[in-house]
């Protein structure tokens, strides 16, 4: 059972514990009920783009097994569920509404309501409709306005039934992995494209916020950003580490909270900066009710020639997860306290935190002791951040269950629930059972 000091805010039932997933990673049923292809359906067909050319066609069959999954979330003692809504299920290529897609999420939300689970819905978790990518995707400013139209449809339909609306998940990944280094769909590797896609994504977020406030006045509205706290390799790397942090952390949060991009990064990359129209920054900086923070590890930076050129350092003799990320819970504490000292923050929810390990089923049991330690130590950092004044209201473990891990395919298992992909059987791992034990004890006042 996870343990925290008796006076920890994490022990307060008002602190929300939940699990998180994303549509393309779990739903499967990609050709069901008039769903349109997404950029990830296309990307998965490109040789070498995804491990063993895995795809989300079947995934965890959540589209058909959602009731079983909702029952399991409740059984684990969770307070909340963070899901994402698939844009390709909702809007057809001609712009018309696909009622079958809305009906599916209506069924899921109804099942969650029956269990009194708090609902957080991410409106864009990387599965851009392919028909929009055919017109330029996030390089096309018009996509931001198409997103606003999609948000109007979803939020007017579900209104306050969704407690938290997150506009985007990790625009850094969508822009920089999708358009700057080509690791993710649509697979473009170009600095200018990366920055332009990032700006258009943030514009989409800003356009969506007033629509959400209009249609779901009693819900909370925000965005989910991913962060890796940056550390210098030595005292000679402090300046380049600061620059790297401006480029990767502050490039996405500063325009949202302060209406401007970091000047040092803008000037260094002046030749590849995005086209910014009058009024864009005021749209992007629309007030948000919460900030979702995703964190898994840290980045160590060293100089790479002349300032501000830098490179990531791969440390030896440190604990790592199966995907290769260093286990460094103090990094989450540094991240949260640094953001708190830098910005006027809205309430924070840790919307993703977790680890991939090479889990095995032995006699019907998955003993993921390393993941249990990971959660204990990262949650202890959350507790300490709260003690240092950071307003953190909840924590969502990534992920509820093993799933399609993007370019890593099904090789990486992040779930607290094991999925046998051949049978679709769900097996709660030791980490899930420890969460359950802790959450049940918390509700009973220990």
Calpha distance 11→121 (Å, rounded): 25
Beta carbons within 10 angstroms of residue 52's beta carbon: 9
Calpha distance 206→145 (Å, rounded): 10
Active-site pick, 27, 170, 384, 434: 170
- Name which of 319, 337, 313, 297 is nearest 236 in CA terms: 313
How, if at all, do strands 392-398 and 348-352 pair?
Answer: parallel
With vertex at residue 166, the alpha carbon angle to CA 377 and CA 158, rounded to the nearest 5 degrees, is: 130
How, if at all, do strands 417-420 and 425-428 pair?
Answer: antiparallel
247 assigned to active site: no
405 assigned to active site: no
Helix (H, G, I), strand (E, B) or coil at 293: strand
Residue position matching structure tokens 């899901």:
83
Beta-strand (E) ranges in 180-277? 220-226, 230-232
Q: Which two tokens stand for residue 13?
A: 């039932």
Instruction: In the chain, count H helices and then E strands.
Output: 16, 13
Calpha distance 57→126 (Å, rounded): 16
Beta-strand (E) ranges in 348-430? 348-352, 392-398, 417-420, 425-428
Sequence-distant (≥ 6) Cβ neighbours of residue 77 within 8 angstroms: 17, 435, 436, 438, 439, 440, 443
With vertex at residue 18, the alpha carbon angle to CA 12 and CA 24, rounded to the nearest 5 degrees, is: 165
Integer CA distances (angstroms), 287 to 118, 146, 171, 290, 397, in order: 22, 21, 18, 9, 26
Helix (H, G, I), strand (E, B) or coil at 35: coil
Q: Which two tokens stand for residue 414?
A: 């992040």
Residue position matching structure tokens 């063993």:
52
Active-site pick, 27, 245, 247, 352: 352
Calpha distance 301→248 (Å, rounded): 12
Active site residues: 170, 352
């Amino acid at each position: 059972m996870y343990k925290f000091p008796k006076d920890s805010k994490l022990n307060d039932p008002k602190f929300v514990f939940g699990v998180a997933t994303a549509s393309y990673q779990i739903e499967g049923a990609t050709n069901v009920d008039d769903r349109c292809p997404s950029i990830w359906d296309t990307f998965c067909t490109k040789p070498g783009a995804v491990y063993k050319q895995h795809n989300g066609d079947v995934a965890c069959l959540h589209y058909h097994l959602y009731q079983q999954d909702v029952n399991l979330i409740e059984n684990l003692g969770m307070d909340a569920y963070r899901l994402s809504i698939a844009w390709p299920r909702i809007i057809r290529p001609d712009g018309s509404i696909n009622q079958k897609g809305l009906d599916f999420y209506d069924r899921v939300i109804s099942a969650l309501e029956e269990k009194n689970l708090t609902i957080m819905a991410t409106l864009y978790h990387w599965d851009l409709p392919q028909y929009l990518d055919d017109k330029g995707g996030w390089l096309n400013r018009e996509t931001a306005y198409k997103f606003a139209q999609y948000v109007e449809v979803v939020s007017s339909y579900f209104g306050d039934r969704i407690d938290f609306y997150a506009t985007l998940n990790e625009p850094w990944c969508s822009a920089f992995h999708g358009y700057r280094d080509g690791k993710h769909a649509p697979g473009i590797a170009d600095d200018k494209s990366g920055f332009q896609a990032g700006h258009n994504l943030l514009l989409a977020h800003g356009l969506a916020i007033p629509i959400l406030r209009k249609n779901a006045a009693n819900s909370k509205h925000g965005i989910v950003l991913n962060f890796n706290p940056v550390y210098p390799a030595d005292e000679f790397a402090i300046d380049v580490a600061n620059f790297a942090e401006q480029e990767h952390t502050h490039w996405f949060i500063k325009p949202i909270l302060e209406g401007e991009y970091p000047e040092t990064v803008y000037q260094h990359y002046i030749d590849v900066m995005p086209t910014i129209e009058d009024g864009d920054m005021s749209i992007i900086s629309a007030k948000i009710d919460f900030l979702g923070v995703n964190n898994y590890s840290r980045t160590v930076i060293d100089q790479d020639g002349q300032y501000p050129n830098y490179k990531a350092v791969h440390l030896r003799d440190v604990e790592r997860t199966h995907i290769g990320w260093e286990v460094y819970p103090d990094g989450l504490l540094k991240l949260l306290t640094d953001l708190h000292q830098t910005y006027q923050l809205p309430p924070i929810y840790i919307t993703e935190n977790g680890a991939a390990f090479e889990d095995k089923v032995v006699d019907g049991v998955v003993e993921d002791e390393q993941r249990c330690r990971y959660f204990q130590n990262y949650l202890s950092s959350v507790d300490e951040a709260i003690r240092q004044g950071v307003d953190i209201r909840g924590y969502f473990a990534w992920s509820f269950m093993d799933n399609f891990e993007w370019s890593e395919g099904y090789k990486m298992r992040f779930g607290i629930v094991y999925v046998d992909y051949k049978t679709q059987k769900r097996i709660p791992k030791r980490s899930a059972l420890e969460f359950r034990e802790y959450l049940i004890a918390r509700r009973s006042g220990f």
